Amino acid sequence: MSRYIFVTGGVCSSLGKGVAASSIANLLEGHGLSVHMVKIDPYINVDAGTMNPYQHGEVYVTDDGAETDLDLGNYSRFTDSPLSRDNSITTGQVYQEVIRQEREGRFLGRTVQVIPHITDEIKRRILKIGERPGVDVTIVEIGGTVGDIESIPFLEAARQFIHDPGKPNVLYIHLTLVPTVSMGELKTKPTQHSVKGLQELGIQPDILLCRAEVPLNDGLKKKISLFTNVEEDAVISAYNVKTTTYEIPVLFHGQGIDKIIIKKMGLDPESRNKKIKEWEKTINGYIASEKKVRIGIVGKYLELHDAYKSIFEALQHAGIALQRRVELVKFDSEKIETDSDRISGQVDGVLVPGGFGERGIEGMIRAAQFARTKGIPYFGICLGLQIMVIEFARHVLGLTEANSTEFAPHGCDPVVSLLEEQENVKVMGASMRLGSSPSFLKEGTRIKEVYRVPVIHERHRHRYEVSNRYRGPLEQGGLVMSGTTDNGELVESVEWKDHPWGIGVQFHPEFKSKPTAPHPLFKNFVEVCFRHA
């Protein structure tokens, strides 16, 4: 039977609950335990797919095509937990299901209420993960902050686990903030209040993770322990790390959090955590590396780091493997529309990530042209591939009006356009080409050399495709169609001939990269950028 760990957050958002939950899972896996992860998002959207990146950061896509919260990306990078649609729960999904059952008449004349009907549906979804064969621990991260109206039903469902399966099979971990005020003094009051909020809902945390700029001293830990009824050694200091969030499992392990969990939950791990030493060595090598490689990111959601989270992480994974520090140089695509030479001399390679809508497109096209003509490595992901195709059609084939029908619905050369089946799609939710599917790589291409296998499986999230009407002319002009779907029907990747590195992919390789297993495309791109530097 699985044990259940609930991770809640207090005081304010963006304290790194996802990374904290992932780091704990990473440590338990190091002890040979099988850990599965669940993310709860208390918003009413059914999934993250319809949200602007500024609202909620990137949308993370699973193999089975679910559009989920970016924390699933953290789980995928720190752990081996299998992730699918079921690992992401939202208020929207829960209510949609309960209302569907009510309309079917399944409640037999009873009043349908938050407790027990909504909470039962929440528990059913959590148990569906925990009851998968062989799961030792299910970690459930509850999004939002204790005190939010939206998260109350989820916290109530979490509380009910005290009755069934009961202690020691359930454990509560609360992440809170210990802010610094003037003169560098750390303040515990917000933490005291936040724990009180949780206690009012009937949950006594077993472990506290205290986010602070600097380590907490023993006096502060003692004080927090006294006010919150959490044992002193279970007050963990989650202070700011220097270089990368991948240091956090090491930081937690140093304070014995894995031992505390194992003891409190009566777990019987196979091994002492030996993996953590290897993890630590890998990460320390990266921290110590001095040589830098500068990657220019040309996008439009750059003010929010989380909007391109998995891409930035995948670049870092390449850096970890190559022991080179990856420096991100961000270019707002709208600003370089008239001046792509601004990129010149500042970067060793250019990456154009995914995106939607017309804003900033011309700047991305300028950046691609600049990289192609100046022989600078270029990596185009999803929209970044479509940009490569538009740029090539305009400047090599001379189709000056070439565009995607996404940006110019009635343009005269739609080199990127909708598939017929997409033309009739009217609803926005979950209606794109989503999830993992095979791509077939052409012999003799750069991408085939990088992957070293003829068939790859990567995840998609897009609506538009390279138009088959223009494939012939593009190829004749010298744009290599290096990968396609099974029957050659759709273009999956393109590349520039006779260029140091110019690859565009219609899929999202960044979702499958891990710090301990960098994605081959990112690794090869960063390696070439470094040589080019």
Instruction: Kindly list the residues in this chain that would bind ligand GLN in the complex (CB under 6 A).
Output: 354-356, 382-383, 406, 461-464
Least Å from the CB of residue 353 to ligand GLN? 7
Q: Quick check: is 457 catalytic?
A: no
Distance of alpha carbon 74 from the chain centroid: 5
Q: Which is nearer to ligand GLN, 59 or 251 (CB)?
A: 59
Q: How far apart are CA 178 and CA 12, in angstroms?
A: 11
CA-to-CA separations, 502 to 19, 70, 447, in angstroms, rounded: 33, 28, 10
Q: Which is nearer to ligand GLN, 57 or 355 (CB)?
A: 355
Q: How far apart are CA 533 and CA 263, in angstroms?
A: 51
Question: Structure tokens of 295?
Answer: 């990657």
Q: Which is nearer to ligand GLN, 185 or 423 (CB)?
A: 423
Q: Which is nearer to ligand GLN, 156 or 406 (CB)?
A: 406
Least Å from the CB of residue 418 to ligand GLN? 9
Q: How far apart are CA 52 and CA 300, in angstroms?
A: 12
Q: Which is nearer to ligand GLN, 15 or 307 (CB)?
A: 307
CA-to-CA separations, 173 to 209, 298, 464, in angstroms, rounded: 7, 39, 43
Q: How far apart are CA 452 and CA 448, in angstroms?
A: 6
Least Å from the CB of residue 356 to ligand GLN? 4
* Torsions phi, psi for 499 (to 5 deg): -135, 145
Least Å from the CB of residue 502 to ligand GLN? 18
Q: Which is nearer to ligand GLN, 154 or 308 (CB)?
A: 308
Q: How far apart are CA 80 and CA 382, in angstroms?
A: 26
Q: Exactly one of 36, 58, 253, 382 is catalytic; name it.
A: 382
Nearest to 88 by CA among 49, 134, 31: 49
Q: Which is nearer to ligand GLN, 4 or 60 (CB)?
A: 60
Instruction: Pinpoint the alpha helices (H) of 105-229.
Output: 119-130, 152-160, 189-200, 218-228
Q: Quick check: is 395 catalytic?
A: no
First to last CA, the chain: 53
Q: Kind and range of the H or E element at 310?
A: helix 309-322
Least Å from the CB of residue 67 to ligand GLN? 11
Q: Which is nearer to ligand GLN, 3 or 508 (CB)?
A: 508
**Which are the contacts of 333, defined by CB distance < 8 A and separation ≥ 6?**
298, 299, 300, 360, 361, 362, 363, 364, 367
If 0-12 CB within 10 Å is exposed, 13-18 middle and 19+ buried, where does residue 511 land? buried
Least Å from the CB of residue 517 to ligand GLN? 23
Instruction: Pinpoint the alpha helices (H) of 162-247.
Output: 189-200, 218-228
Q: Quick check: is 532 catalytic?
A: no
Q: Exactly one of 31, 317, 499, 508 is catalytic; name it.
A: 508
Nearest to 308 by CA among 340, 332, 344: 332
Which residues form the catalytic set?
382, 508, 510
